Structure 1
Amino acid sequence: MLRPQGAILMRLSFVWALGLALSIFAGSHSATAQTAPSAFAQAIAEAAARDKSIASFYKANGYKAIWTGKASKDRSRRKALLSALSKAGDHGLPVTSYNADVLKTNLRSVKSVRDLGKLEVQMSKLFLEYARDVQTGVLAPSRVDSGIVRQVPLRDRAKLLAAFAKSSPSRFLKALPPKTPEYQRLMKEKLRLEKQLAKGGWGAAVPAKSLKPGQSGPAVVALRNRLKAMGYLKRSSTQTYDATIQKAVQQFQLSHGLSPDGVVGKGTMNEINTSMQKRLSSILVAMERERWMNIDRGKRHIWVNLTDFTAQIIDGGKVTFQTRSVVGKNTHDRRSPEFSDVMEFMVVNPTWNVPRSIATKEYLPMLKKNPNAVSHLKLIDRRGQTVNRGAVDFTQFTAKTFPFAIKQPPSNKNALGLVKFMFPNRHNIYLHDTPSKSLFAREVRAFSHGCIRLSDPFDFAYALLAKQTSDPKGTFHAALKTRRETQINLKTHVPVHLVYRTAFVPAKGRANYRRDVYGRDAKIWAALSKAGVALRAVGS
């Protein structure tokens, strides 16, 4: 259901009503407040008893009001909070969770200092709920999907209240959302789509399975009109799939991660006919994901967008290097996880220590059939000695009892290629080279066991080493020529962020959309909807 923005703005009238009522209440009960200050403190203590953070804050401040007093600072805080809540929809937050009408009802029922204490705590809880949602997200990522193992930077609630109480209320609340340029661009794109949705969206879907240059007829007209509504085509009266439409299709394909052949095949048609509501939900999910990453990402950092199949080096907010990537296959045990860590070193001519899951699930069945299978791999016993396969009966082992480690020595055919980039983590995920270069030509590149394969690993290494040596290429190849496993430490460690964005907005150009390869964004949107986040149309 679409929500008109006007309904939210009506809550602003409550600011005046709250201030007036509290002022009247404070005046008529001033004697009570002066003769029995402990009554208000006791009321707060009782109301906050089940919330350790709020109880801690009020205990530290001597149980003084920050919302319900008649002082100008209290009025400013009330006004700032209600103003922020009225704009919660701009951030794609669950507006119905911040129900000012409940406060209004509770205010009208205030008849004692005890009631006022309850209202004081209630407003603090509302502030903390909104602050958490807009600052670090509505959802707990790992509860939505086990592959999202990101650590959300939750703030200390008691300290947040204390900082707010000492700050300019409006400035404090405005500083809560992420300040990344991407978050601001997503908000702008959200508003643009909401305004267009109010005007009817992109119009009718294209009634065809595919279209190609040279065709004409009603389906081509529908394609023309939809591309025009999306902003890829200027006004035109053509009914033929001409060069102008072909160029517009190519631009559409580029901004949707498709091969820009200018032909509307099945994949392109699916993307063209995706509804505006679906795109808007992708924007809202991307904003939630930005809130999960409301952290310092590092002036220089590595950004791997799993849905875009790319790995980038970002310096000062600008992409200074980019390469294609292959990510984990879309199966429960191979999907690449989402998390952040720090790259510490690279290994040239790496040995591949086969993960036990791969050794037992993939190689053990092969060895049972033929002890000489996968002969390029070495079996190592617990003493570190290479095993003579002819002396082993592999049929006696199960996945649990298999006693050997499996390794692949450095070589051009090594599964890790000739270099791997390490950011040690409990998920055993890293970036690496690969001998399987043909996969980088695919449009969808989800084939690995979970690690990230790079199309241009040598150039990636040069870009990293350029910060610490005047001859990065020479440094790298000196190690490569030894043909021995060699570790090159990064003098300055580089943050690595494995992210999953089906919607993102470049600094220049149109919003980009990608397919939900693991279905994670669908889960996030379902969870956000359940939490009360809703699409809306906004009149201009």
Structure 2
Amino acid sequence: MRNFTSLSVIAAVCFMMLSFGSSAKEIHIKSKTAKSGNIFLAKTYDAKVGVDVVAINEFYKKYPKLKKYQNDVLDLYKKKEYSSIWYDDKNISEFGSLLYHKVRLLNDQGIKATMPYMDAVDDIFNENVSNKLPQIDTELLLSNMYVFYASNVYSGVDPATLKQIGWFLPAKTISYTKILDSLMVDPDRLNKDENLLYGQYYKLQKVLKKYRTIEKNNQWSKIDIDSANYKDLKPFDSGVAVQQIRHRLFVVGDLPQDSKRNVYDEEMMAGILKYKQRYGLKLNYTLTREHIDQMNEPIGNRIKTIMLNMERCRWIPTDLAKASEYVMVNIPSFKLVYVKNGKYELVSDVFVGTRMTETVIFSGKIDRIVFSPYWYVPQSIIKNELKLKMAEDKNYLADHNMEWNGGNVRQKPGPKNSLGLVKFMFPNPNDIYLHDTPAKSLFEFEKRIFSHGCINVKEAKGLALAILKDNPDWPADKIDQAMSGEKETTCMLKNKIPIYIGYFTAWVNDDGEIGFYPDVYDRDPRLDKLLYSDAVASK
């Protein structure tokens, strides 16, 4: 926020100079009340702030519902040498008032948590309240308010809970003291700071505001169809439903205007393709009943989906997207991207694990590419599938180019190998990797959950070419020869490539367009219950 007056800037500088002063100081303040725009300034009074361990312990006896923040608050004051954080030489600092304003607008961050004793905090900033709290209570309430805000906005669910819900991507580590220092130097970072939150978070936040406006203005009109006698809508069909769909496409941004025509014309065809692309649907002009049902999902559900994915973004280390090279797979969108020097080098469709063999959410480092690989059949597949098939057909292994190998079964290299002609290895306890597949027809499905947990890549050869593009030892013709299916050949990478397997049911692209994807493993309801259960008053 850049609209501070020069007087405010001077006050902020004075605050920073004073914040490293003595542990107990006399603050003589003239009674004064002020308000600047939407920023609340607390009424002032004479008091003495004595912040020490004893005072902090006594505070939590008085406010026990805040005890979960005690260690973090204590750490703040240790780093500040037990000096006041929230008072300058006149009153509560303008940054304290600004932070309070942000806490009151947590809903804009997709957060429903409420800080305990928020009514007492409200009174601090209410100029009509004459019976003010002791200044030490005010000081410590504001410190707890800060930790409450930072933990909800910048951190989200704690690492232990993330593991319980099966999210094994690297946990973000933050320092509340360092964050506080950075915010005080530049309060505008409260609005946006990609060093604190993964950039996708702010894109989702912008779309959240848009969808809430649509909801507020009652623009999410239901598409009326005769469910019993519905026939697929196709180009040049007409009717009330066509007019309603056109309006919806305009409202969400898939059409630049609403002509209000009830004919499925060429303009609407372009909007339908854009809509289907955002939802990860097969790109054609036909609108089935399932598509209409999807459009008729309440906008409140879409808003909740955005909020849940904002929470997931809080867990992501902010340096992820700053890596010079990485691969990212988003399970719900069935997409893989290979990014190098900030640019998308390759985007590919993928299919992932079934509900019984879910692909795990985790990260690793690709250290080698194996061309024309053997497939070593997992023991679970041998036990649950192969033994029965071998019992029914004694030639099953030979017919499928398989052989016994030291008590195990492996499939020989070749075009029909289950791993296709190339795999990308990154050591992990789940034995998951990326690989090609001979089953190319499976990429025609919209919901692609077919594997035993590994990630099958449609453009696997393209990924190998992109990764090795600048490697003189692996020109394209050598890669072609290695993928002939004759013998297994391994290429060890000079630089390991980070790979992140994530789970986002909503994602905003660089053009600001949001995509919504199927919650294939039913993770959204579980996260919803964890975050927004009525039994949880705060995080």
TM-score band (shorter)? 0.7 to 0.9
User: Which sits farther off after the overlay, 87-96 or 233-242?
Assistant: 233-242
Indicate the residue corresponding to 1:184 in structure 2.
Answer: 202
Letter in 2 for 1:192: K
Indicate the residue corresponding to 2:150 in structure 1.
Answer: 131
Listed as ranges, the matches of 1:4-403 within 5 Å are 15-17=40-42, 20-21=43-44, 24-26=45-47, 30=48, 40-47=52-59, 51-67=70-86, 69-71=87-89, 75-94=93-112, 96-97=114-115, 100-104=118-122, 116-138=135-157, 146-157=165-176, 163=181, 167-168=184-185, 170-171=187-188, 173-174=190-191, 178=196, 180-208=198-226, 209=230, 210-233=232-255, 234-297=257-320, 298-329=323-354, 331=355, 333-367=356-390, 373-375=396-398, 376-380=401-405, 385=406
Aligned-residue offset at 1:176 = 5.5
Listed as ranges, the matches of 1:443-462 within 5 Å are 443-462=446-465
Identity %: 27
Aligned mates of 1:507, 1:486 — CA distance in 2: 38
Aligned mates of 1:458, 1:222 — CA distance in 2: 43
Aligned mates of 1:421, 1:14 — CA distance in 2: 53
Indicate the residue corresponding to 1:421 in structure 2.
Answer: 424
Aligned-residue offset at 1:488 = 0.9
Aligned-residue offset at 1:254 = 2.2
TM (normalized to structure 2)?
Answer: 0.79
Q: 1:11, 1:82 within 8 Å by CA — same for their partners in 2?
A: no
Provide Cα deviations, 1:49-98, integer angstroms capped at 9, x if missing partner.
Answer: 8733433443454432213x453696244223213313322221225337
Aligned mates of 1:237, 1:412 — CA distance in 2: 52
Residue 491 of structure 2 is aligned with which of 482, 488, 491?
488
Indicate the residue corresponding to 1:501 in structure 2.
Answer: 504
Change (3 A) 1:439 1:13: closer
Q: 1:220, 1:241 within 8 Å by CA — same for their partners in 2?
A: yes
Change (3 A) 1:316 1:276: farther
Change (3 A) 1:156 1:370: farther
Q: 2:198, 2:316 within 8 Å by CA — same for their partners in 1?
A: no
Change (3 A) 1:104 1:194: closer
Aligned-residue offset at 1:270 = 2.3
Change (3 A) 1:353 1:146: farther
Aligned-residue offset at 1:262 = 1.0
Aligned mates of 1:176, 1:73 — CA distance in 2: 27
Aligned-residue offset at 1:228 = 3.5
Aligned-residue CA RMSD in angstroms?
3.5
Aligned mates of 1:270, 1:110 — CA distance in 2: 56
Indicate the residue corresponding to 2:32 in structure 1.
Answer: none
Indicate the residue corresponding to 1:392 in structure 2.
Answer: none
Change (3 A) 1:172 1:510: closer
Three-state SS of the structure 2 residue aligned to 1:211 is coil
Q: 1:327, 1:446 within 8 Å by CA — same for their partners in 2?
A: yes
Give the unaligned 5+ runs of structure 1: 1-9, 386-403, 535-540
Aligned-residue offset at 1:216 = 3.0
Structure number with greater CO (CA < 8 Å, separation at least 6) is: 1
Aligned-residue offset at 1:518 = 1.8
Letter in 2 for 1:440: F
Bigger helix share: 1
Aligned mates of 1:206, 1:141 — CA distance in 2: 46
Change (3 A) 1:510 1:74: same
Change (3 A) 1:410 1:151: same
Aligned mates of 1:175, 1:202 — CA distance in 2: 29
